[in-house]
Amino acid sequence: MNKLITLALLCCLHSMAPAAESVLILDGRNNHDWQRTTTALKETLEESKLFTVSVATAPEDRAGPPPQRPKVEDAVYLDAKAKYDALVKSLKPDLEARWAKWNVDFSRHKAVVLNYNGPEWPGSMKASFVEFVKNGGGVVLIHAANNGFANWPEFNEMIGLGWRKGGFGKCLVISNSGAVEDCCAGDNSGHGSKHAFVVTHRQPAHPILAGLPVEWMHARDELYHHMRGPAENVTILASAFSDETERGSGRHEPLLWEVPYGKGRVIVCTMGHVWRGDVDQPSLDCVGFQTLLKRSVEYAATGKVTQALPAEFPSKTSILSRATASTGQP
């Protein structure tokens, strides 16, 4: 009898548990190591038990990466480049056909995580993505995902700020007093050297940040500066000082921000750099980054954050890391 009661209680508790939200990671093209990044993002999200995560990968460029350009172009490089260009040309019809057929059903998911910085999507796919967000779908962009689609007006509107050339829209920074300012007319987006830096929460009561330390040390990463765009309805959630000694801007630059788009919520995170061939991935292994990722995705998907605060978190002076399956796999 006691066993039956216990079993019944367990069944009730299971039925009361919130259903995992369906999340899609979209990847396949990026100037960064998108394979390792997706592996780390997927593992981090799934370990929370709050999400079921699937992956949609763009059509493969079967030509592979181009030959690395030397500082001085020599005969060997020019020959390799000519052969590569010929290969790309021969494969172009097949690639275009596969791109034309590629489509993603965004409506099956509550949130999309963009780990993508590549060619334009087919027109029908772009239209369905816009409708997905307008109708309440959530989007979280990681690092170089804000570099793409510079000529797509709706995308620029929904991300607010991205990696753009000087003169493109506005450039928002945080003043020493904490005010948001438009500055740096004509300055291209960029970054300095990779280094650890202190993250400052500018909206500590926001559901993504509530209860977390207001300042904490992020592991070695690229710190983007001069993010540009329409900058409409942008709420900067977190920033970091871009130190001139690290070839930065000398200003407090946005790291994490929110833009409402229709009924949807878009979160842009500039952290998360991993380059092809890197022997480590400190940015993705940082517990601070992992925490913001999970909380950002839940917020984008549902408009709230229910997950408990982490038992351990970086301090203002010390980094805290947790390795994932892609750690140490260049």
The model's pLDDT over 254-296, given as tens digits with 9 standing for 90+, comes to 999 999 999 999 999 999 999 988 889 999 999 999 999 999 9
Q: Any alpha helices (H) in the chain, and if so which ranges?
A: 2-16, 34-46, 75-101, 123-134, 153-159, 282-285, 287-302
What's this model's pTM, rounded to 2 decimal places?
0.90
Do 47 and 86 lie in one domain? The reply is no
Q: Are the C-beta atoms of residues 286 and 219 closer than 8 Å to each other?
A: yes
Structural domain containing residue 52: 21-58+104-302
Q: In the numeric block, which tokens belong to residue 32? A: 């960064």
Do 260 and 239 lie in one domain? The reply is yes
Nearest to 54 by CA among 22, 18, 20: 22
Given a cut of 80, whether residue 208 has pLDDT beyond it is yes
Do 70 and 124 lie in one domain? The reply is no
- CA distances (Å), 263 to each of 36, 178, 259, in order? 32, 28, 11
Residue 10, domain member (yes or no): no
Residue 8, domain member (yes or no): no
Lowest-confidence segment of 31-35, 42-46, 161-165, 214-218 by average pLDDT: 31-35
Half-sphere exposure of 288 (CA within 13 A, CB side): 31
Q: Are the C-beta atoms of residues 116 and 34 closer than 8 Å to each other?
A: yes
Residue 297, domain member (yes or no): yes
- CA distances (Å), 306 to each of 49, 204, 265, 301, 313, in order? 12, 16, 17, 12, 18
Task: Count Cβ atoms within 10 A of the Cβ of residue 285 and give its class: 0-12 exposed, 13-18 middle, 19 or more buried.
Answer: buried
Given a cut of 70, whether residue 209 has pLDDT beyond it is yes
Residue 235, domain member (yes or no): yes
For residue 142, the surrounding DSSP H or E stretch is strand 138-142
CATH code of the domain covering residue 171: 3.40.50.880
Residue 2, domain member (yes or no): no
Given a cut of 70, whether residue 238 has pLDDT beyond it is yes
Nearest to 248 by CA among 259, 256, 240: 240
Number of H helices, E strands in the chain: 7, 14
Mean pLDDT of 221-227: 98
pLDDT tier, 7 (very low <50, low <70, confident <90, very high otherwise): very low
pLDDT tier, 3 (very low <50, low <70, confident <90, very high otherwise): low
For residue 173, the surrounding DSSP H or E stretch is strand 170-174
Phi–psi pair at 128, nearest 5 degrees: -70, -30
Lowest-confidence segment of 71-80, 163-172, 225-234 by average pLDDT: 71-80
Q: How far is CA 88 from the centre of its chain?
A: 29
Count of Cβ atoms closer than 10 Å to residue 275 Cβ: 13
Given a cut of 70, whether residue 2 has pLDDT beyond it is no
Look at the block and give the residue holding tokens 């909380």: 295
